[in-house]
Amino acid sequence: MLRSHKIALQPNNKQSTYFAKACGVARFAFNWGLAEWKRQYEAGEKPTEASLRRQLNLIKRDQFPWMLEVTKNAPQMAIIHLGQAFKNFFSGRAKYPTFKKKGVHDSFTLTNDQFAVSGKRIRIPNLGWVRMREALRFSGKIMSATISRKAGKWFVSITVDTEDVPPMSESQAIVGVDLGINRLATLSDGTMVTGAKPHKTLLKRLRRLSRSLSRKQKGSKNRAKAKQKLAKLHVRIANIRHDELHKLTTNLASQYGVIVIEDLNVKGMMTNHRLARAVGDMGFHEFRRQLEYKTAMRGGRVIVADRWFASSKACSDCGTKEEDMPLSIREWTCPECGTHHDRDLNAARNLMKLAVSSTATACGESVRPANTGAASTKQEFNVKATYV
């Protein structure tokens, strides 16, 4: 199993300069390869990733001697990534590749024969040992390493082919999970996770730094400093969100064998100017992505209910369906059985009963609802965010 561990680096000034040069070389090689690919294609030729790499190796010593100041992997891996981008484009998985810009997703990749890891250090070609904030978490065959910059800090993501897998989930319990913007998640057993909402909490600070940046003269050092402050705050918001989602999805995957969620139209929800900020602050797409791969690693299953399944409108006790229920209604009483429902909890219980009664429970397949089933035992989730 391939697993990656992203670790913060502690480079000195010389090492930081080397990283910046290597990122520049990788960016130049990618843009050169993209321009050459276009030129050759328009000339009636059939460019390939391998031919572009050979062509660059022939001319870089004479035309681009500054490329030799960094590891040879920087330009070569950039061309390989370009080839993969075109494969994704031709297969319909991605759009046509675009030119890279300086300061946007700066990174370069090393193959496993070009670096070594020892404790809390990593050896980079033509540079030497660089300190890491922590040791590599996984054991196994190291495949590659990607060094990247985010908000002025350097990180290394090391990919390892390891046999160390999380313990398999022995529980066969079923839980329904309803996602929302008032509460991040409501479980069918009654557990409610409020959500950190880091963007909403830090919005005032974000607006202040954004105004400060807009007042700075373009090209000035003060503008560069203000830009970095704003970038650090954005990274902090993203880190808080990811930390909460990782804790929640790990707990769910380890405690339940079958998890039922809704197929939310996140892209469509983001087009609603009244909901977009709150939806983005919760990270619904990232929640599903993490939950699916963590559940698969532990031998569990994720059932994705149909997008039009009436989880909120149907009574989880008697099955009576309300025709109209706007988002403003958070609680309602069933006119048939008289049961008083919390909207999100009722939806989570309907999702759980969908899995209990299903005949096809593979991830993403449609399932048939029913009106019977018992709630699982309540579990406690320690999900809490702090702000400094």
φ/ψ of residue 75, rounded to 5: -75, -35
Among 106, 244, 262, 281, the active-site one is: 262
Q: Which of 106, 244, 292, 344 is the catalytic position? A: 344
- Known catalytic membership, residue 49: no
What is the full DSSP assignment across 278-293? HHHHHTHHHHHHHHHH
| Full DSSP string of 141-197 | EEEEEEEEEETTEEEEEEEEE----PPPP----EEEEEE-SSSSEEETTS-EE----
Catalytic residue (one of 178, 189, 244, 281): 178
What DSSP letter does each residue of 340-375 carry, written as one string? EEEHHHHHHHHHHHHHHT-S--STT------S---P
Calpha distance 245→260 (Å, rounded): 17
Identity at 261, one-letter amino acid code: I
Please tell me the number of Cα atoms within 13 Å of 223 on its side-chain side: 7
Pairing of strands 258-262, 301-305: parallel
Active site residue 281: no
Is residue 178 part of the annotated active site? The answer reads yes
Within 10 Å of residue 293's Cβ, how many Cβ atoms?
13
- Got the DSSP string for 124-147? ETTTEEEEESS--S--SEEEEEEE
* Cβ contacts of 76 within 8 Å, gap of 6 or more: 29, 53, 56
Which residues form the catalytic set?
178, 262, 344
